[in-house]
Amino acid sequence: MDNRYKHLDKLSSEFERRFGSAPTLASRAPGRVNLIGEHTDYNDGWVLPVALPFEVNVAARPREDGCVRIVAADLGQEAEFGPEDTEPSEDLWLRYPQGVAVEMRRDGHPLVGLDAVYGGDVPRGAGLSSSAAVEVSWVQAFALASGLSLPGPEIALLSKRVENEFVGVPTGVMDQFISALGREGHALLLDCRTLEYRHIPINLPGVSIVVVDTGGRRELASSEYSRRRADCEAAVERLRTRLGDIRALRDVTPEQLEANADVLDEVQLKRARHVVSENARTLEAADALTAGDAPRIGELMNASHTSLRDLYEVSSPELDAVVEIAGGVEGVIGARMTGGGFGGSAVALVREEAVEPLRDALAEQYPPRAGRAATVYVCKAAQGAEAKRLS
């Protein structure tokens, strides 16, 4: 079943009600989940995300005066801005489309204005990149309306700049890259240093991607994220005294790390061991997906969670509970926390006959441990962003 543009009918009706006629173009961009490769992005490493069948849609019609009038259908909010409005809005939701327009113009792209309605179903607060889906969908809408043809990597980098510099959230590039460049039935192996990427076929027939939102929100994520980055940077500085001109932990092999472990303090060594081993796991997982080697993928996912819990120390009791419960269900290939940690979601690869047993196990065992129910999303790898004319 094609789930693309699944909110367009509702948004088009709202567009006609608000603006008096039908929209002439639409765009869409999906959220994502990362199968493996956590906290490797800012260490110049590799990640292996997939696009999810949750998306943000924009229904729009060009304007010639450069003004942008927006209805945020899910939020019940309306606003407008012009080409001269280059300071970030006080309304956080508006910074995303406004930032896209500002950054596209800064790149020299001539933009028309838009009347637009947007909304979607990417779960907010679950670590599934709803913000990247918003950014990428707006780039697609502005580009089509203005007669621009932008390659996927440019869309991703522009959207990342919006998130970092206009919205003010210091993320890596993975979220925007997979939203812009995802392919149905594939994961995306992204080199976060070179930005080279490969679509990796998910050769696991009869297997679903199950995302479990723990309901635990990531109160510690921001401060601890900064601390983990600092730990990694300090480890590189110390290892550089032995290994020469290394730029990031990506440049360190497991053998080199263990041979020079004495230059690191206990915390730095734990962080470095996670990153170095996670990079190796991610590259191996890409090969295992292509080969359809389900047992090996499961081993790598489970090892990733253990490393994130014990070495990088970014898991949470709720995430650990989900992974442990999943591990006890026959037919679950592997499970791990995904995202920054301290809450958010876990991801599992699950044989289709095991999906309902996993739901049942989570419904029975998770609330007594976490004090709340978990939300389960059963998915396949979806197609990345696009835009189309409606008339």
Q: What are the Cα distances from residue 171, in Å, to 31, 207, 229? A: 15, 30, 12
* Burial (CB count within 10 angstroms: exposed 0-12, middle 13-18, buried 19+), residue 47: buried
Residues 6+ away with beta carbon under 8 Å from 147: none
Q: How far apart are CA 55 and CA 133, in angstroms?
A: 7
Secondary structure (DSSP) of 86-149: -SPPSSHHHHHHHHHHHHHHHTT----EEEEEEEE-PPTTTTS-HHHHHHHHHHHHHHHHTT--
Q: Which two tokens stand for residue 176?
A: 């925007």
| From 44, 115, 121, 175, the catalytic residue | 175
| Distance (Å, whole) CA 329 – CA 357 | 7
Task: Return d(Cα 46, Cα 33) in angstroms, integer.
Answer: 14
Contact 63, 48 (CB under 8 A): no
Please answer whether residues 345 and 49 qualify as being in contact, where contact means their C-beta atoms are separated by less than 8 angstroms. no
First to last CA, the chain: 24
Q: Is 247 exposed, middle or buried (0-12, 13-18, 19+ CB in 10 A)?
A: exposed
Question: How many angstroms separate the CA atoms of 228 and 158, rounded?
Answer: 26
- Three-point CA angle 244, 280, 185, nearest 5°: 135
Which residues make Cβ contacts (< 8 Å) with residue 173, sequence separation at least 6?
41, 156, 157, 160, 190, 192, 195
Asked if 262 and 242 touch (Cβ cutoff 8 Å), the reply is: no
Judge whether 125 and 221 are in contact, CB under 8 Å. Answer: no
Q: Is 175 a catalytic residue?
A: yes
Please give the backbone phi and psi of residue 112, each rounded to the nearest 5 degrees, phi first: -85, 170
Task: Answer whether 176's CB lies under 8 Å from 30's CB.
Answer: no
Rounded Cα gap, residues 127 and 340, in angstroms:
8
Which active-site residues does the annotation give?
175
